[in-house]
Amino acid sequence: MEFCAREYGPLDASTIVFIHGAFLGGWMWKKQVKYFNDYHCLVPDLPGQGQSINHKPFSIKTSAEQIAELIRNKAHNGKAHVVGFSLGAQILVQLLKTSPEVIDHAIVNSALVRHIPLSGLLIKTIPRLSLMRAGNRLFSRLQAKSYHLSGEDFEKYYSETKQITLDTYERVTKENMTFRLPEGMNRVNVPTLVIAGEKELGVMRKSAEDLVCAIPNTEGFIIKGVEHTFCFENPDLYHKVVRAWITDAPLQDERLQRI
């Protein structure tokens, strides 16, 4: 299994790796790449998605292994700050467990690590519904609206989700819903920021609490007024939070509620 990864910014600067969410692509980080133009940025497309549509199959474990290799081979001094959103945040949690030595600072944004009621039924039904919606512009627009996507972001989302196969929908959905905190996270010493939106499902906020309790050297915040897609909804605040964390600056904003 492999994936495609784009590279931006000065090669001699500190590296940030951005890991996208399920059924999206590296394009979701375009505002972050533009803002962090003083950093060297690596932006992979996960297997079966985006420009890695033909690189299969997908799994959280193997994606974490591939990102570790990407960092070793491409990041400045073989180490990077890593930002993960949703599915990407789950991959980052796995990466913290298996290859903490390649991570400078971690930002875990909305990682599900708890059981969702009726998850067995959802694992069976969501992939086929997703496949049906992907080919329907109206349903895709409704889904994109929930992500706060519009304009060219919607067009990118629509064109890429139409190419995702049923097998990838099934694998990603199952991996996402069955992921749990790996054992031994208490031995991880990477400075880790855990964040979730105030308006997210309760299970996501509880997952954030679990992560803060499990990983030493961690701070956690609930972001007031945002849903699941913090980086789309309020990119200015998102950039402020990420830059503060990776530069060891104080996180001070009234919209941050400490966990």
- The C-alpha atoms of residue 157 and residue 140 are separated, in whole angstroms, by 8
β-pairing verdict for 218-223 and 15-19: unpaired
| Range with the poorest average pLDDT among 23-32, 49-58, 198-207, 218-227 | 49-58
Please give the mean pLDDT across all residues of the chain: 94
Cα distance between residue 215 and residue 192, in whole Å = 8
- The residues, any chain, with a CB within 8 Å of residue 118's CB and separated by 6 or more, are none
On the question of pLDDT at 8 being above 80, the answer is yes
Each residue's pLDDT tens digit, 112-124: 999 988 888 889 8
pLDDT at position 40 over 90 = yes
CA distances from 2 to 28, 43, 46, 56 (A): 20, 14, 8, 7
pLDDT at 135 over 80: no
Residues whose CB falls within 8 Å of the CB of residue 86, separated by 6 or more in sequence, listed in order:
21, 22, 109, 110, 111, 112, 176, 228
CA distance 194 to 211: 7
Residue 9, pLDDT above cutoff 80: yes
Q: What is the mean pLDDT of residues 223-247?
A: 97
Q: For 109-136, what is the mean pLDDT?
A: 88
The answer to whether residue 94 scores a pLDDT higher than 80 is yes
**What strands lie across the sheet with 40-45, from one edge to the other?**
4-8, 40-45, 15-19, 80-85, 103-109, 192-197, 218-223, 256-258
Predicted local distance difference test score (pLDDT) of residue 232: 94
Handedness of CA 59, 81, 192, 230 (dihedral sign): negative
Q: Specify the length of the chain in residues.
A: 259
Average pLDDT over residues 118-140: 85
Q: Are strands 218-223 and 256-258 parallel, antiparallel or unpaired?
A: antiparallel
Percentage of the chain beyond pLDDT 90 is 82
Residue 145 binned pLDDT confidence (cut-offs 50, 70, 90): confident
Tokens matching residue 13: 């600067």
Pick the more confident residue, 121 or 9: 9
Q: Of 136, 179, 154, nearest to 232 (Cα)?
A: 154
Domain boundaries, the chain: 4-114+182-258
Out of 1.20.120.420, 3.40.50.1820, 1.10.287.1080, 3.20.20.70, which CATH number does the structure's domain 4-114+182-258 have? 3.40.50.1820
Mean pLDDT of 185-204: 96
Residue 162 has pLDDT above 70, yes or no: yes
* Residue the block writes with tokens 């974490």: 64
What's the alpha-carbon Rg for the chain, to the nearest Å?
17
pLDDT of residue 169: 92
pLDDT of residue 88: 98
Q: Is the dihedral of CA 215, 221, 226, 231 positive or negative?
A: negative
Q: Which two tokens stand for residue 120?
A: 């067995």
Report DSSP state, residue 164.
-
Is the Cα dihedral 124, 48, 108, 73 positive or negative? positive
- Provide the pLDDT for residue 1: 52
Residue 33 has a pLDDT of 98
Q: Is 77 exposed, middle or buried (0-12, 13-18, 19+ CB in 10 A)?
A: exposed
Number of H helices, E strands in the chain: 10, 8
pLDDT interval class at 131 (50, 70, 90): confident
Percentage of residues in the chain having pLDDT higher than 70: 100
Q: How far is CA 14 from the centre of its chain?
A: 20
Report whether pLDDT(127) > 70. yes
